[in-house]
Amino acid sequence: MLLQSEQSVFFSVGPLRLEGRLSVAPGPKAVIVTHPHPLYGGDLANPVVATLVKVYQRQRYTTLRFNFRGVGGKGSDTDGRGEQDDLRAAAAYLSALDKTVTELAGYSFGTWINLRLNPPLATVRRQLAVAPPVALLAFDAVTAPPHLSIVVGDRDDFAPLATLREQLAMWRATARLQVLPNVDHFFGNGLDRLAEVVEAILLAPPD
């Protein structure tokens, strides 16, 4: 589903043609929002992804959400390797529009791709990681940005707080961790609270 002001776009990654949703705002700053694992039904239409896009749009960012390879028969999952190429191609697409990717926002599997992007996008100054699935995927070789914020529910079995706190010390000791009470990995009852927390993060200047 298209949000208000979004348009359907396509960009190429080698032989693949990936689908995206683009909303163009005045000014150069842009965010890419990445989605959960395609093998478990994740795609750009995920409600958490759509919620994040809406918040960034309210803060006047150009937004791009897109389908990783493996969605809808477009190529196949490559355990994170090709998906990093997908992310770079999305950034290149925005660059061709004279937009600078200053932020990455990911949910679940999308956080894994964003945080492990190596080398990282030089223009990114802040990352938002929603529900990093540290109990499901190995977050080794993380290249954390200068400013990292994490939002997670306290009932998230895929991102247990004890494990996540251990990981954060290795990712970025100064990372901001926001915990939403009575929320699980899927944010079924927490989308409004997620939006409020993310909006507050964006309104606060990075340390």
Ordered per-residue pLDDT tens for the chain, 207 residues: 678 789 999 999 999 999 999 999 999 999 999 999 998 899 999 999 999 999 999 999 999 999 999 897 665 666 788 999 999 999 999 999 999 999 999 999 999 999 999 999 999 999 999 999 999 999 988 887 889 999 999 999 999 999 999 999 888 888 999 999 999 999 999 999 999 999 999 998 765
pTM of the model: 0.95
Task: Give phi and psi for 122, each to the nearest 5.
Answer: -65, -25
CATH code given to domain 7-203:
3.40.50.1820
Specify the pLDDT at position 148.
Answer: 95
Amino acid letter, residue 197: V
Distance CA 198, CA 186 (A): 16
Task: Tell me how far apart the terminal alpha carbons of the chain are, to the nearest angstrom.
Answer: 35
> At 114, is the secondary structure helix, strand, or coil?
helix
Provide the token pair at 33.
């929002």
58: Cβ contacts below 8 Å, ≥ 6 apart: 199
Specify the pLDDT at position 78.
Answer: 64
What does the chain come to in residues?
A: 207
Distance CA 68, CA 28 (A): 24
Provide the token pair at 141.
């070789």
The DSSP H or E segment spanning 179 is strand 176-180
Distance CA 32, CA 61 (A): 10
Domain boundaries, the chain: 7-203
